Amino acid sequence: MNIKRPDLLVVGSVAVDWIITPKAEREESVGGSATFFAMAASYFTSVRLVGVVGHDFPKQSLSDFDDAGIDRGGLEIDGEGLTFRWKGRYHENMNDRTTLETHLNVFEKFQPRLPDGYEASEYLFLANIQPSLQYEVFEKMVSPRLVGMDTMNLWIDIARDDLVKVLSKVDVLTINEEEARQLSGEHNLVKAARGIMKLGVKHLVIKRGEYGALLVDHEGNFFVAPALPLEEVVDPTGAGDSFAGGFMGYLARRGVSPNGASLRTAMIYGSVMASFCVEGFSYDRLKGLSVAAIQERFHTFAKLTDFSHANLLD
């Protein structure tokens, strides 16, 4: 008997990046927040993708979406425009990067359109787009069970009121350390988290790159997920979006437990998918993964912080 998995709708950018790292370079590297999110989440639940691309978007990537079981009925293809393109150079530490070029192209006038049935998706993730557009999408939804969202420094700076309006409606906010500090006005992450929760956020995830991620639940409890120590990071682009995909994908598959255990487990699965993502350019390492490979890495993460057999002091 086939059991229908809950639908997870993601709305965000689909792009073509030009990535330069200290060791390698890829000129045509498909990216975008919705791309990484959808590829990561597709291993856990059925995913619907809403975005826009131009006529130059690689057909192979459309096939890859199909192979991953992603419903791209909401991915608009503009036959006359060009896809959103970003060019960036990563520094030696692979954490810091410099934006060299940004061409919004068709993404500049992006207006999310939900095909029939998409508004009834049980789970929604509002990836990094203008807060006003995020709110418009939220308003079109019919009683989603869980709503997550991401944002960026630009919107915190120029559209704070619209952003706060959306934050009061969502269940989970995922942002990085810099954004958390900017949004809260606090440098200390604990104080920053407390400040953001006061804006109406029910659950907060602060992504910390190579240092893992921090969860604060609706009761104010903290949980820290580690990052996997890797000998070599090929391309950090999309790690945060892949984390969000694994996180939301797991919650869509299992639901949110009253005691918060599912949120903590989702944090680890998010870290698992991010660790795969950074091992290759674009979503190369997110293609064709086996359930066994995902589970094996999940157990590897679990061992990183397992001290259950440690002895107490005499």
Residue 312 lies in a domain: no
pLDDT tens across 81-97, in order? Answer: 999 999 999 999 888 89
Domain count, the chain: 1
Residue 53: other Cβ atoms inside 10 A: 28
Distance CA 274, CA 36 (A): 9
Residue 161 lies in a domain: yes
Q: If pLDDT is split at 50, 70 and 90, which confidence band does 307 have?
A: confident
CATH at 196: 3.40.1190.20
Residue 24 lies in a domain: yes
pLDDT tens across 240-284, in order? Answer: 999 999 999 999 999 888 778 899 999 999 999 999 999 999 999
Residue 36 lies in a domain: yes
Residue 309 lies in a domain: no
Q: What is the pTM of this model?
A: 0.94
Q: Residue 40: which domain range?
A: 7-304
Task: Please say whether the dihedral angle defined by the alpha carbons of residues 280, 286, 291 and 296, taken in this order, is positive or negative.
Answer: positive
Tokens read off for 90: 């990563």
DSSP H or E stretch at residue 35: helix 33-41
pLDDT tens across 142-184, in order? Answer: 999 999 999 998 899 999 999 999 999 999 999 999 999 999 9
Where do the DSSP E strands lie in 55-200? 71-78, 84-90, 97-103, 123-126, 146-150, 172-176
